[in-house]
Structure 1
Amino acid sequence: MDFKDHNVYITVKDHSVSGETFELLLDKDLELLKTHPQPAPADLGRYYESEDYISHTDGKRSLFEKLYHTVKQKALRDKISLIQKFKPSKGELLDIGAGTGDFLVVAKNASWNITGVEPSEKARGIAIGKGISFASQLSDVPSHSKDVITMWHVLEHVPDVEQQITELKRILKPDGVIIVAVPNYKSYDAQYYGKFWAAYDVPRHLWHFSKTAIKKLFGLQGIDLIEVLPMKFDSFYVSLLSEKYKTGKMNFVGGFYRGLVSNVKAGKNFDYSSHIYVLKNTKN
């Protein structure tokens, strides 16, 4: 995707690590945003060097982290239920960006044969301690070997989205299912908080998706979008962080209120703070 001549949609700051500023470029046809400039892959690691990068730790130091992990347990059970709705006969499951492995632990306990891929050595080490098996990299996963591939808030971190989708197509069985969760920059909370919207999370988030972007990008590989589901808790989580970035303090009342408003408005236009996309192979 060539964003060379595309317009600047918004300019945002890395609030959690570097304090650096980045532009988000808009592809109007795809309704996709690209973080610019994108750090070189070798430099990306330093932008994750924060004790507050919650998905790479099992930390429960603050009320916010405790709340996050409490809600996370219910979300994990809901994810398994969703997968089994579309794939009732359990088989091979690959989780890309497995983090500290909690989702794969739940999947394993539900009798799935599990494999993870995770670039963070720290997170991978925690997951291995929980009995999770990993492929060293995506290219090592055999072709047409997985019944289900999941990416929970991972696709936005991938440097080459088109190549990533090509790999997903290669790995997936002909009747397989891909489940992708990403933030939605067209949500009410994104519009309300603007440059302070926490889910922009530059430059760790290299891409920023809409429903149109997901449908078109996967459609190019013959993978159809068959269902879009809301992630209603994300509006509260993201709004709380956005309040912190905007005001300098954790405003639980304001964050909860904006999250609630976002979900109410999304009930009409179905633009939630984050979505889960269920996709299936249609052309092999």
Structure 2
Amino acid sequence: MALDMWHSAPLRRFTTRIEGSTDLSALEGARYIVMTAGRPRQPGMSRTDLTGVNAEIVGNVADGIRRYAPASVVVVVTNPLEEMTHLMAKRTGFPSARVIGMAGVLDSARFCSLVALEGIARPEDVDAIALGSHGAEMVIPLSLAKVQGRPLEQLIPKDRLAAIVERARDSGAEVVKLLQKGSAYFSPAESAASMVAAMVKGDSELIAACVQSGGAYGVDDTRIGLPVRLDTDGVKEIAELPLRPDERAALAAAAGSIAKRISELA
């Protein structure tokens, strides 16, 4: 695949070398690492069905990262996202700011793209953020969702908006079902790439990512999707957003469920 992409260099006009390797020593000196290795979902599977097999894969790669790229920042994409982000941090021993789970950027983009299908705006004109888990406990604070500054709750009927939230929450499974073999790759790749680009540029734009909560928003100290700002060294800060009481409660419930799954992994 690396060779195939490199063949497109004259067409896309890039000179960045693309190489492939099955040897983890190729990670030596890497500044940013995107962890995607793992078994993909099949139709009917949940993300948590992958825990055992993917934990072994992530653990082995984490050992290689610790050895060959001890100063790197790791963006974890492998499912189940929160558990694998936690495992990566534990196995590498890296500070929590340098191990980030990619889910919120993808889930936020999925929601915004689905809102755009209602015909009220272009996808980039929808402003919303997805917090909580990359799965059933996803929390989309509708109180903050806007279209060109206008509250989304005033533009779409409540029942229709609830259906869009549910479809965003199940979008990964929807793609898996349509593909029949494998899982989503294009939008997750764009999401991970955008996170790395933000770090390289030192961009402090607000995004959602799976991070160590540290008690933020009053939730348990666990790995959960929260609003953050990034810099060249990973997570710069967890941002405080004015969530409604019901949204805070949903976030706390998500943290509790995630903490339980992480403890079972341990």
Task: Note whether the superposition's TM-score is higher than 0.5.
Answer: no
Structure number having the greater helix percentage: 2
Normalised to the residue count of structure 2, the TM-score between the two structures is 0.30
Structure number having the greater strand percentage: 1
